[in-house]
Amino acid sequence: MTTTRDPHSVGIAQALLAYLIWGFFPVYFWLVRPSGTLEVIGWRVVLSVVFSVVLIVVMRQWSKFIAVWRQPRLVGVLAVAGFFVMVNWTLYVWAVELGRPIEAALGYYLNPLISILLGMMFLRERLRPLQWVAVGLALAAVLVMILGYGEVPWLALALAVTFGIYGLVKKQVRVDAVVGFTVETITMAPVAVLFFVLAIAGPGLTMGQISGWHTTVLLFAGVITSLPLLLFAASSKKLQLAEIGILQYITPTMHFVVGLLLFREAMPLERWAGFALVWLALILFTIDLVRHSRRRPLEK
Is residue 92 one of the residues assigned to a domain?
yes
pLDDT in tens, 206-226: 998 889 899 999 999 989 988
| Of residues 197, 155, 211, 252, the one with CA closest to residue 32 | 211
**pTM beyond 0.75:** yes
Is residue 3 one of the residues assigned to a domain?
no
- Report the C-alpha gap between 122 and 168 in whole angstroms: 9
pLDDT in tens, 237-250: 777 655 676 677 88
Report the number of distinct structural domains present in the chain. Answer: 1
Those residues with Cβ within 8 angstroms of residue 242's Cβ, 6 or more apart along the chain or in another chain = 286, 289, 290, 292, 293
Q: How confident is the model at residue 195 (pLDDT cuts 50, 70, 90)?
A: very high
Phi and psi at residue 237, to the nearest 5°: -80, -15
Q: How confident is the model at residue 264 (pLDDT cuts 50, 70, 90)?
A: confident
Between 182-186, 228-232, 271-275, 292-296, the lowest mean confidence (pLDDT) is in 292-296
Is residue 289 one of the residues assigned to a domain?
yes
- Report the C-alpha gap between 218 and 225 in whole angstroms: 11
3-state secondary structure 55-111: HHHHHCCHHHHHHHHCCHHHHHHHHHHHHHHHHHHHHHHHHHHCCCHHHHHHHHHHH
User: What local confidence, expressed as pLDDT, does residue 245 receive?
Assistant: 64
Is residue 4 one of the residues assigned to a domain?
no
Query: Is pLDDT above 50 for 2?
Result: no
pLDDT in tens, 67-97: 999 999 999 999 999 999 899 999 999 999 8
Is residue 91 one of the residues assigned to a domain?
yes
Do residues 218 and 207 lie in contact, with contact meaning Cβ atoms separated by under 8 Å?
yes
User: What local confidence, expressed as pLDDT, does residue 286 receive?
Assistant: 78
Q: Mutual orientation of helices 177-187 and 62-69 as an angle, nearest 10°?
A: 50
Q: What angle do CA 9, 15, 21 make, to 5 degrees?
A: 135
Better-scored residue on pLDDT, 89 or 172: 89
Q: Exposed, middle or buried by CB within 10 Å (0-12, 13-18, 19+), for 126?
A: exposed
Domain that residue 102 falls in = 9-299
Written as one letter, the residue type at 90 is T
| Of residues 25, 89, 76, 64, the one with CA closest to residue 178 | 64
Is residue 43 one of the residues assigned to a domain?
yes
